[in-house]
Every structure is written in C-alpha cells, then in structure tokens.
Copies of this chain bind each other. A is one copy, B any other.
Amino acid sequence: MKQILIIGSGFAGLNAAKVLAGGKNVGITLIDRNNYHLFQPLLYQVATAGLSPAEIAVPIRSLFASYANVRVFQGEVIDIAPNDNLVHTDIGEFYYDYLILACGARHFYFGNAAWEEFAPGLKTVEQAVEIRRRILSAFEKAETISDMQEKSRLLTFLIVGGGSTGVELAGAIAELSRFTFARDFRNIDPTMARIILVEAGPRILPTFSEGLSAAARVALERLGVHVWTSRKVARIDREKVTIDGETVAAATILWAAGIQASGLNRFLGGTLDPMGRIIVEPDLSLKEHNHIFVVGDQAHVARQQGRPLPAIAPVALQQGRFVARNLLREIKGRKRKSFHYKDKGQLTTIGRKKAVMEFGGIELQGFWAWMAWLVVHIYYLMGFKNRLFVLLQWTISYLNYEKGARLIVRKNWRFYGPEKEKDG
C-alpha cells in the first residue's frame, strides 16, 4: 500500500485525490487549511454580493465520504523534509511514499505587504467577505454624509490590476451601482459611483488577443468604468492611492495585481521563478526528489515556446488528474508520461450579457461569450446542490438585477468583549 500525501484541495489537489481515490493499493491523505474546496473563479461574485460563500464551497470530507482509502484533515504545513519523506504540520507529522503539493498562490504586493490592509486581494472566502463589507459599507456611509468631497471619496472604487479578476470586480461593482442600487438610496445617486481600473501594462486582459482586450475595455467603459492603462501604482495608503504622482482618494481599494506561489516551495531546494513557482520536470515531479510532484499555481511548467503555463483553473485541474494517473501507472510498474496541457481557451465576464472568450482560434464577445461563460462555470462547479443554487441566484439576478447576498458582516462577533471593532 503506497501512502500518497496531498497538500491543498484546490482544483489541482482535489482532482488528484478524486482520481487516486478510485485506485488500488493506495492510501490517500488530503490536508488543507480549510475544510472546504473553494470554486475560486466565482469568488468575485461573493465579494460583490451576488453569491454566498457556501454556494461556491463544498466540504472536502463529504466528497470523499464513500472512499475508505481517503483521509481528510484540516491542517497547515510547517515544514517539509524531502529526504525523510516527511511533512510536518500543525496537526502532526505525515509520512509519504509520494507527495503532491498543490498549495496554489496568494497575493503579492511586490514587497509592500503593508498595502494589504488598505487594498485586500481576493483569494479566500475571508477576503471576499471583507471586500463585500467594504463595498457595501461605502454606499451605506455615503448615504449618511452631506460633505460632497467625503461622499465622492466613499463612492470611488479603485481596482489595481487589469487581469481577469480586476476586470470581473470592476464590472460587478459597476453593475451593482448602476442597476442593483439604482432605486435604493435617497441622498446619493449610486450611478455616480466612480469605478477605476488601473493596469500597469498597455492593455487590460493582456493574455487575450488585442481585439478582445479592446472589446472588454469598451464594455467596461459602457458600464461607466474608467480604465487607466500604462499607469503604475506607486503607493497605497489608507483610502488613498498614488499613481504617477497623482493621488486618488478612494474608500475602497482592491488588489488584483501580483500573485506569488505558496511559500512551501522554499523547503524543496529547487529553482524558483520570479513568481516563486518551483520549476518542475515534464512529469511535474522535482528533479532532486522524483517522489514529489508540484502542481497548479505552485509549479512552473516551461513550454517549448513562450511563457510557462498560466496560473489558471484548467491548468491546475489537468495537472492534478495527470499526476494521479501517472502515479497509478507507476505503482502498477509502468513508466511515467510527460504532461501536455490541453488548451481550454480563456473566458472572462464583464457583466450581464458581456464576456470575452477565446477557444481554439475562435474569438467571441458579447452575449454568446457570456452564455458560454455561464455554461462552463455551472458545469465545473462542484456538486449538484451548488450548481442548482448558483443557477437560481443568477436567474433571479438576471430577472430583477437583485443581488443574493447584500450582507455587511462585521469582523467582531462579541457584544461585551474587550475587542473593539475597527475599520480596516
């Protein structure tokens, strides 16, 4: 019986575990910081009050309830000892015959970690709830204030980073203010909210073609989003961003720029790329430790031409499945294969009936790209129940522009406690 240890239950880890669970003579241990698998591509909808966290999360252990060879633990890795085949965690030590690392990436502030407090990123449920709190609170506060300058600061939303997440956030905040909130306020006109998307490069969605990138920009601008390209953020303070010497006062600042691979890579002794991803062999194992595989956003997989594989869900999902199948092959005494990514194209939504899509040389924009986006996301969303609920939320939002989760949840749960609630 081979012991396979999987760290992380994102798209890569979870799909590896699912394939392995069906295998013979393998014992699988899956460890994650959280007790749920998160469908990250829809996290921006939690941040913009469209969905509830539980609608895009499934408890990991319920997925493996019927597989006696799978153990699931909630825990955090402290150290990895590749030469001893051991992983040290806050819940104890785990031995492995094979180790699959799938710990993903987190936001990176290019050395300015202090910016996080003023400009949260969007990688976790906690961050999504915090961003939702800030966005909704900004409108609530603006309604109570008469000072025009302060009102304008509260109704300015600045998003740093013009990739998929930045575009999706900007589009969703614009729709929230233009449609959902249209009749809800008396002292402010929510449609006057200023939404600014700042991108350091020459165009947004740089991984798409120039045509689609331009189409996305037009779609955002029609929603009233200000798109600032070729402009670099020099500094972020509390409710204030400095861009090219100019200071923009914005109560809500969101970070969708840099990401950095999991810090666990530092225990592995291999070569890291500038994003902190470890460079892996064609079978996704490590050169020095061929019983360790690194997959998903944590790995740097070189391609013959162009840049390494991007940090996106389809790559992680395919790598997870691939490694699992390779392992089962090896355990049966057969040779390992090399990983080849099957390009599933790209999809980003801007808003209602607005999306851009690229697949096998085909480019789509507008309604049909949006339909494709809906179908793909519902299809890949884990679990019958979640699919049903998300589909329903979307149908209701589509019909009446109402959002499903307009809740401002505080950070402190206590009435009496010594802790005082503070604004972030």
Contacts and interface: CB of A to CB of B under 8 A. Distances in A.
Given A65-B183, A385-B402, A34 B408 contact: yes
A110 interface: no
A210 interface: no
Nearest to A68: B186
Given A129-B409, A186-B71, A404-B385, A414 B116 contact: yes
A140 interface: yes
A130 B54 contact: no
B389 A66 contact: no
A392 B52 CA distance: 15
B407 A35 contact: yes
Interface stretch (A56-64, A95-103, A224-232, A240-248): A56-64
Each complex incorporates copies of this chain amounting to 2
Interface string A55-93: 101010110011010011111000000000000000110
B35 A136 contact: yes
Contacts of A62: 184, 402, 406
A143 interface: yes
The CB with the most chain B CB atoms within 10 A, among A34, A129, A130, A406, is that of A406
Interface in A124-173: 124-127, 129-130, 136-137, 140-141, 143-145
Contacts of A143: 72-74
Given A35-B407, A62-B184, A402-B62, A116 B417 contact: yes
A130 B389 CA distance: 24
Contact of A57 (B107, B116, B130, B407): B407
Nearest to A114: B416
A413 to B, nearest CB: 4
26 contacts: A34-B408, A35-B407, A52-B52, A52-B53, A52-B405, A53-B405, A54-B407, A57-B407, A59-B184, A65-B184, A71-B186, A73-B143, A73-B144, A91-B141, A91-B144, A91-B145, A114-B416, A116-B417, A120-B413, A120-B414, A125-B409, A126-B410, A126-B412, A126-B413, A129-B409, A385-B404
